[in-house]
Amino acid sequence: MTSNPRAVPDVVESSSVVPLPTIRAQRPRAANGRFISTPGPVTAELPGEVALPDDRFLDREISWLQFNERVLQLAGDQDVPLLERARFLAIFASNLDEFFMVRVAGLKRRIATGIATRSASGLEPREVLDEISLGAHELMGRHAALFRDVVAPALREEGITLVRWEELTEEEQTTLAGMFRSTVYPVLTPLAVDPAHPFPYISGLSLNLAVILINPQTGHEHFARVKVPPLLPRFIELPGDNELYATRYVLLEEVIAAHLEYLFPGMEVHETYTFRVTRNEDLEVEEDDAENLLTALEKELTRRRFGPPVRLEVEEDMDDHVLDLLTRELRVHRAEVYRLPSPLDLTALNTVADLDRTELSYPNFVPATHPTLAPVERSAPADILAAMRAGDVLLHHPYDSFSTSVQAFIEQAANDPQVLAIKQTLYRTSGDSPIIDALIDAAASGKQVLAVVEIKARFDEENNITWARKLEHAGVHVVYGMVGLKTHAKLCLVVREEDGALRRYCHVGTGNYNPKTARLYEDLGLLTCDETVGEDITRLFNQLSGMAPKSKFKRLLVAPRSVRSGLIGLIDEEGAKGAEGRIRLKLNSIVDEAIIDALYRASISGASVDVWVRGISALRPGVPGLSETVRVRSILGRFLEHSRIFAFGTGKNARIYLGSADMMHRNLDRRVEALVPISDRDQLKTLGALLDRGMSDEIASWHLGSDGQWRRHHFSAEGSPLSDLHAELIATYGARRRPGRRR
């Protein structure tokens, strides 16, 4: 590590990346030549403290758009395998859908109700919406053009083709006509608009055909809407020819559009366009008591479909009179209309990305069993509990297999007759989760099983309600956390009787108990028998399931009580060391003003501050006199960086926590979160090395500048490619000691 302030070596940009727009630099906002003050007690004005400038926070919404721009850059990178580029296009589209459904919808709702206030960045809510509109229009246009002009032609060269209806042979059209009549036509519901039929309700994220019909007898024009059935395959694969690896698709909406005469016999189909509406789908549930929460949420899920529109996507050649009709009936402002080349809704590109073309995908990767958890004899099952008794086990997913570590831990506990109780938090899990099955098996065998199910996990509410009901019917004690708080902590507690006494086995993680996402998300977990950690987690579960509002924790930092204050205390301690202080954070997002201000104070004191963030950063690095020693970097790629690490100091005095909390208001004030300290010296070194490597100038990443701009660094000054962290870690973990070579 170089001394402070630290200079970043020059690097050159890759010429292989398709040029993309840059979201406009976040600039200080001024009125009448003066800086606008930020709300709340965030400016240090106390005696002996340095007053911090009012323009020190970047806007969180603009920062999120910049994050999605980084995803788009990966889709345009010719060094990324082609099918993975298609997947990044789908991820970009899915990310933006959620952004509009939640963030944009929330802004519009607050403006409409008159409760919106100026953001910490100094922008009025209406200004934020304007910035979002500018950035989103630009990025969505580039996204569509990137697929049409770059990725689709590249796929075509590899024999993967999206064929238009008019390009099909007569034989193929005949075959598809038969498929339409037998499979598609029966599930279509044409909805016409006339005095007897009002404009139909358009569900959020549905793909629709706007059809202009002419009655040949009267010459009158009519409008009709046909919904593209979401449960049918969007990409219809055509019968293959003799060409090796040739895969051809036609879009479902094109097949429907070619057969509209079946839906409107006697009418002339004059014009057909596709369109798509995004609605406010963020839930608002008043929690009077936990008993009514499940019922209230089920009702709110029904109302979700009827939220007000926040975005209208239409084909770029849609006639103005059709667009006028849609905007009028949907009550959408023209600024919320996005004209795009077809096809709309590129989330469907996941179908293409899932093709079995290994030469066009990332190299095959199979997670390995953590060496400590591997069975001594290959034919014998691993004893996870015995490994935990020998010492703490630090897991790093997806490099360490989830199924042979966390999943195996819970399954072993469920089948162990000496285990008396299992307590588990569930935020998101898969539909066929073996974790759920293990908890049901444990309850069936007479164990006390508690599941804290967060049914308010956004967009997983219906799945979680289903599994909550299933667990209840199996005899599992199911609770829904604490009123007013989401339970986001990732915890599992196993209580086992051993030699007449009880021993606690614990797992604390950064990611969900979801075997499917564990193969794609980068996360950390700690398996431990530490007595104090076990006592803390027991208290926390008692707080979640019962009445224990004054629980105190010895080792864990728990939100909403002590995560913010505890971390600020640790930051301040490092700041007090001056240039000897060192702070390293790995996060999904950092927005909280109090945390950011503490980092600014530490930087002003001379401490080095490294922040490795996947998504949003309101922290402005490299500002003279404010954050000269702060570096903010982002890594995106094969795996979704999801772990949270909080490291303070170095060497023997280093303190490192891992857990589920991001530095956002919702995590620190409105969620139950838990951070656990790491005590094993080797594990402290491992995490420290990971943080250092992620921030290294040798690793491909994006660097945030003091102007609020993210700049991609993936080539050295000499023009050689920088290392890909995920590929490097796959190789590193793959080279670990194998079973049978353990000491």
Which tokens in the block code for residue 726? 């995920």
pLDDT at 220 over 60: yes
% of the chain residues with pLDDT over 90: 68
Residues 550-576 have a mean pLDDT of 93
pLDDT band at 22 (very low <50, low <70, confident <90, very high): very low
Q: What is the pLDDT of residue 180?
A: 96
pLDDT at 551 over 80: no
pLDDT at 40 over 80: no
DSSP string, 522-533: EEEEEEE--HHH
Q: For residue 549, say if its preceding peptide bond is cis, omega within 30 degrees of 0.
A: no
Q: What is the pLDDT of residue 70?
A: 97
371-545 and 557-734 agree in CATH topology: yes
Q: What is the pLDDT of residue 614?
A: 97
pTM assigned to the model:
0.88
Q: What is the pLDDT of residue 150?
A: 97
Residues 689-699 have a mean pLDDT of 97
488 is catalytic: yes
How distant is the alpha carbon of residue 569 from its chain centre? 29
Residues 535-546 have a mean pLDDT of 90
pLDDT at 185 over 90: yes
Q: Per the residue annotation, which of 370, 396, 488, 713 is the catalytic one?
A: 488
Main-chain phi, psi angles of 250, to 5 degrees: -130, 145
pLDDT at 31 over 70: no
pLDDT band at 456 (very low <50, low <70, confident <90, very high): low
Q: What is the pLDDT of residue 481?
A: 66
pLDDT at 38 over 60: no
| Domain limits, the chain | 163-356, 371-545, 557-734
pLDDT band at 12 (very low <50, low <70, confident <90, very high): very low
Count Cα neighbours of 69 within 13 Å in the Cβ-side half-sphere. 24
User: How many angstroms separate the Cα of 221 from the Cα of each of 4, 265, 691?
Assistant: 71, 15, 64
Under CATH, what is the fold of the domain 371-545?
Endonuclease; Chain A (3.30.870)
Q: What is the distance between the alpha carbons of residues 295 and 39, in angstroms, rounded to a whole number?
A: 37
SS3 (DSSP) at 208: strand
Predicted confidence (pLDDT) per residue in 272-318, tens digit: 999 999 998 755 444 433 345 455 545 544 544 557 899 999 999 99
The CATH class of 163-356 is alpha beta
Q: What is the pLDDT of residue 463?
A: 64
% of the chain residues with pLDDT over 70: 85
Q: What is the pLDDT of residue 291?
A: 43
Q: What is the distance between the alpha carbons of residues 193 and 209, in angstroms, rounded to a whole number?
A: 13
- Look at the chain and count its residues: 743
As a whole number, the mean pLDDT across the chain is: 86
Cβ atoms of 588 and 644 within 8 Å: the answer is yes
Residue identified by tokens 């995004």 is 278
Q: What is the 3-state secondary structure (H, E, C) of 329-361?
A: HHCCCHHHEEEECCCCCHHHHHHHHCCCCHHHC
pLDDT band at 527 (very low <50, low <70, confident <90, very high): very high
The residue among 205, 213, 208, 238 whose CA lies nearest residue 225 is: 208
pLDDT at 725 over 60: yes
Q: What is the pLDDT of residue 253?
A: 97
pLDDT greater at residue 667 or residue 117: 667
Cβ atoms of 125 and 41 within 8 Å: the answer is no
pLDDT band at 413 (very low <50, low <70, confident <90, very high): very high
Residues 701-720 have a mean pLDDT of 94
pLDDT band at 379 (very low <50, low <70, confident <90, very high): low
Angle in degrees, 0-180, between the axes of helices 125-146 and 60-75, rounded to the nearest 10: 0
pLDDT band at 657 (very low <50, low <70, confident <90, very high): very high
Q: What is the pLDDT of residue 461?
A: 55
pLDDT at 16 over 70: no
pLDDT greater at residue 200 or residue 689: 689
Listed range (88-102, 196-210, 276-290, 368-382) with the worst mean pLDDT: 276-290
The CATH class of 557-734 is alpha beta
288: burial class by Cβ within 10 Å (0-12, 13-18, 19+)?
Answer: exposed
Predicted confidence (pLDDT) per residue in 337-368, tens digit: 999 999 999 999 999 999 999 999 999 999 99
